[in-house]
Amino acid sequence: MKSVIYAIALSSLVAAPAFAIEPIKGSITYDAPHAQALAKSPVGSVIQHSFTSNGTDYLELYVVGANGQPELVSRSASNAS
């Protein structure tokens, strides 16, 4: 099961430049100049972030890049609050 998750994460990283997801208000990287490096998180770590914006619940997945910055790789939305 872990290999499937790693394969999905890796394929997301490869496709990310072609299909970049723009951050929205509430995203960790929305205000990019103030985004901080995640010094204690290993490169390649997956981070989940959930928030509500305009009545819609979002779940975002980030991968820690080589520079320690979180990179947005996936977002899903739900109206089931």
How far apart CA 72 and CA 77 sit, in angstroms, is: 14
- The pLDDT value recorded for residue 10 is 59
Encoded tokens for 20: 């970049």
Query: Residue 51: is its pLDDT beyond 80?
Result: yes
Please check the confidence at residue 35 and state whether its pLDDT lies above 80.
no
The dihedrals phi and psi of 23, each to the nearest 5 degrees, come to -65, 145
The count of domains in the chain is 1
Q: What is the pLDDT of residue 12?
A: 60
Q: Considering the chain, what is the average pLDDT of its residues?
A: 79
Round to whole Å and give the CA distance between 62 and 44: 9
Range of the domain at 69: 2-78
pTM, rounded to two decimals: 0.67
Q: What is the pLDDT of residue 75?
A: 94
